[in-house]
Every structure is written in structure tokens, then in C-alpha cells.
Structure 1
Amino acid sequence: MHTELLVQLKRITFGYQPAQPVLQDVSLTLRRGEILTLIGPNGAGKSTLLKIMLGLLQPQAGTVWRRDGLRFGYVPQKLHVDASLPMTARRFIELGLPPGTHTLSNRWVELTRVSALLDKPLQGLSGGELQRVMLCRAILRQPDVLVLDEPLQGVDVQGQKFLYQLLVTIRDELQCAIVLISHDLHLVMAQTDQVICLNHHICCSGTPQSVAEHPEYRRLFGEDAGLFAIYTHHHDPHRCAEHEGCTHE
């Protein structure tokens, strides 16, 4: 049971231009151990809501509460790396370590499959490799809340399965909350406790199944959008996350 409240947003309104609110009357709660998925079309306000949750933006109306001392781990949608910047993946990860930490955790380095990437320059990494490096950097902070913005963008099916397996392992071992943001309406991990369908306001929320069947969701995205390809996995995520070729379902 998810009990400890970590973040609570109440009736949030925000707009980059006063007459055009990006978010209007949005509320949500996030508890330890919970997986929350935000879905919605491009421009729906998902990333703006994320920035308000992280404290990077202040709402024009509404309230934000965060537990004292809350640690966030953030995996952005994209990372722009200067082509002339002489930085290895190892150095990039080390710069994100908490004060007083001098070594990388072998377990998380192995589970995120970045061991072979540590001494490569960031500029030489593929999109998927860079994503794993950013994820490793985020979880080595031992966050209370791990946030991933569009983590499946450009990732193939096997990469998606690996990521979902790994996220369950991270949630279980760190006992953190996880927030996933996506505009992909057809793939939601079955372990998600709550899906929020956002289009400037909350259209509907609930379990993946209930949101997929909700009339407001179908009116917004079409009847076919109700057919989620909900990923389920019945094998031990600790074992499968270590095997790149695992395709068990």
C-alpha cells in the first residue's frame, strides 16, 4: 500500500501568456512506491506540469507541496551535448553524484548496461546509450522521485521492455515514486498505479484499463486510442533486467 505522501499539487494553473493557460485547475498526488504515467498529445502541458512539480516553474494559481528534503532524479527527453566538450560518460555520471560519494555503484551501472560506455565520450553515444547513461546518473542519486520525460522516444520494442523491467526493479529496491511522461497513447506499463490523461486540464485519470475505456479519453483521441498495448511482465525483473535478450511476457 502506498502511504507516504511525497508531492501534492492542488488546482494548478499556469500559462506562458496570461490569456492562454497551458495548465488549468490540475491536481495530483504522488506517494512513495507509486508509478504515475502522464499521457497526452504534444503541447498538452505535460512537461510544464513536470517543471512545476520539480520546482523549476511557479504556478500562477494553486499550491504545490513537497515533502521536506525530497530528492528528485530527472531523465530529460533530450540532452544537447556540445561537440567540443571533452567529457566521458563516467565523468558525466560522477558530476551528478551526491556530495561525499566517490565511487559508482556497480549494481546500478550493470543494471543500466553502461559499464562498456563509461570511458566513451558523450558525443559518441547513440540515443539509447545516452538515455541509459542519464538514467544511471539519476538513480545513483537515490531519489525519492524518479522522473522520466518521454523515455520511450526512439526506443525499439526490446528497449521498451528492458526499460519497464528496470523501472520496476528501481521502484522496488529504492522504494521511490516514478513519474513517466509520454505522448505515446498506445503503450502504458501495466504496473502503473495511476494514469493521468492531460490536455491542459485533466481529461480523466485512474488505472490504465479505466482510462483506456473512459468516454472523455476516447472522445479526445478517438475510439481506436482506447486499445492500449499494455505491457505486462510475469518474470523476476531482477533477473530479466540483466539479460538483454529477455523477451518473456
Structure 2
Amino acid sequence: MQRHGNALLTDVSLRVLPRQIVTLVGPNGAGKTTLVRVLLGLMSADRGAVRRRSGLRVGYVPQRFTPPPSLPMDVDGFLRLAGPSTEPQRKQRLADNGANDLLRRPLRALSGGEMQRVLLARAMLREPDLLVLDEPAQGLDVQGQQEFYALIARLRDASGCGVLLVSHDLHLVMAATDEVVCLERHVCCVGRPEDISVHPEYLRLFGRDLTGLAIYRHHHDHHHDLHGNIVPDAAEGRTAHD
């Protein structure tokens, strides 16, 4: 795929299966967002084909969304733009994301973490077979990233959807993924997180200093709400970070 004489993507092949989390990693300019746009049909590739299951429903969380400060819309109105839904359904999607109290909040009053959860709720209202997230934890602190990736895994488990995730948060997101695709305008390597983290191509792109980073697996008996407060998990012993 070329634009203005520059190669953006070459010989890229990517597959996401139901209930699978695939994480796309690569340096800036590697073509990650371009690939996502091609897969979503927002851009056309010069060659090749995108094959989607018949009737596939896709939910999309963009890299960033900043509503105009003057936009007179609350969260409920924004969620209604996703398509037909009832207020109980919209409330439930927010509750699934730990954002119970945001339904009547003005969009312009949301924090970064709150907005990401609202965008995720909007995507899940579509009951997607495939959830696509482009740098969804951008701008969140480490704790917020951990919570967000754990949330994505829980939504995948509950809905059975496949997940395509684009991220720079390598050592954190790798613990929440089944397969990693390393991209630098072409596919450099593909595999399980523990294998990719020591692959020569991965080390070439991200530096050998990353070999000192363990794949992050965080287990405890509580999680944090939108405001950072500790909330105990259910009595059956579910861990917030797996």
C-alpha cells in the first residue's frame, strides 16, 4: 500500500479469531493505525483483500476523541448515536465498564479515563463480534492502563468477541493478549507474548533494554473505580488482573 510514493504497508497478513485478543505493536510510523483503517474499511488498500465473516459486527474505539467544549451533549445522548438501544441497555454497558454514574454527565466534563470507558461502552452497545481499539489507554497512568486492559479481557470473556488492540504499552498489554503482531510497515514477527518479547526483530525495534521487563501479570483481590477508590472483588475470588 502506497501514498504519495511512500510505502505504508507491504505484504501484511493479519487474522483475529473469536475470543482471541491480538495486539498490534510497532514503533511510530510503522503503519498500525493505517492497517486498522484498512481493516475497518476507512481506507482502501492498493492490493490484497480484507475478508470479514458474513454479518460481522464491529465495535471501534478510536485513538482519541475530544468533544468540542461547546457541544451540549451528555453521555446518554452520545451513547444513543451508536444505534437503537434502550436506556437500561445503555446503563448496563456503562455499569459493565465501571462507569455507572456517568449517564447524565456532560461529555465535556469527562476525564480521560472516563471518556475511554464511555467510548468502550458505546462500542459494546453494538454487541460486536470484533472489538477494535486503537491505543485505547493512551494518556492513562500505569494503574489506569492495568485496569483498562483487565476490563477489555473481562468484556471479551463475557461477550466472546475477538479483540484487535493497538498499543505502545508493551510490557503491560502483553499480559492481556493471546497473540502479538509486531509491525514495521510489514509483519516482522508473530507469536505468543513470551516468545515475541525475546524475538530478534522485536528487540531490534524496541531495544535490548526491554529484555529486563518481565511480562506484567498483576493479581490481587480488588480493583479501582473511575476515581481511584479500591473496590473489593466478588466473593467468588475473581481477580481484577489476570
TM-score range, shorter chain: 0.7 to 0.9
SS in 1 for 2:152: helix
Larger RCO (alpha carbons 8 Å, 6+ apart): 2
Residue 248 of structure 1, CA deviation:
6.5
Q: Which residue of 2 aligns with 1:72?
A: 58
* 2:3 equivalent to 1:16: yes
- CA distance, structure 2, for counterparts of residue 117 and residue 89 of structure 1: 7
Change (3 A) 1:163 1:229: farther
SS in 1 for 2:13: strand
1:102 pairs, out of 78, 86, 96, with: 86
Which structure 2 segments of 5+ residues have no match?
232-239
Q: Which residue of 2 aligns with 1:83?
A: 69
- CA distance, structure 2, for counterparts of residue 244 and residue 68 of structure 1: 43
In structure 2, what residue type is equivalent to 1:103? E
Which structure 1 segments of 5+ residues have no match?
1-13
Q: Contact 1:26–1:201 (CA<8 Å) still a contact in 2? A: yes
TM-score (norm 2): 0.87
Deviations 1:81-122 (A, max 9, x none): 12221100111012113x3x2224343321312222221211
* 2:115 equivalent to 1:130: yes
Q: Which residue of 1 aligns with 2:236?
A: none
Residue 46 of structure 1, CA deviation:
0.3
Q: Which residue of 1 aligns with 2:25?
A: 39
* 2:1 equivalent to 1:27: no
Change (3 A) 1:121 1:37: same
Residue 20 of structure 1, CA deviation:
0.9
- Identical pairs, percent: 49
Deviations 1:105-162 (A, max 9, x none): 3433213122222212111111111111111111111101111111121112221221
Deviations 1:181-206 (A, max 9, x none): 01233332324111011111111110
Q: Which residue of 2 aligns with 1:203?
A: 188
- CA distance, structure 2, for counterparts of residue 184 and residue 36 of structure 1: 14
Change (3 A) 1:227 1:29: farther
TM-score (norm 1): 0.85
- CA distance, structure 2, for counterparts of residue 44 and residue 26 of structure 1: 12
Q: Note the 1:124-203 alignment, pairs <5 A.
A: 124-203=109-188
Specify which structure has the higher proportion of strand.
1
RMSD: 2.2
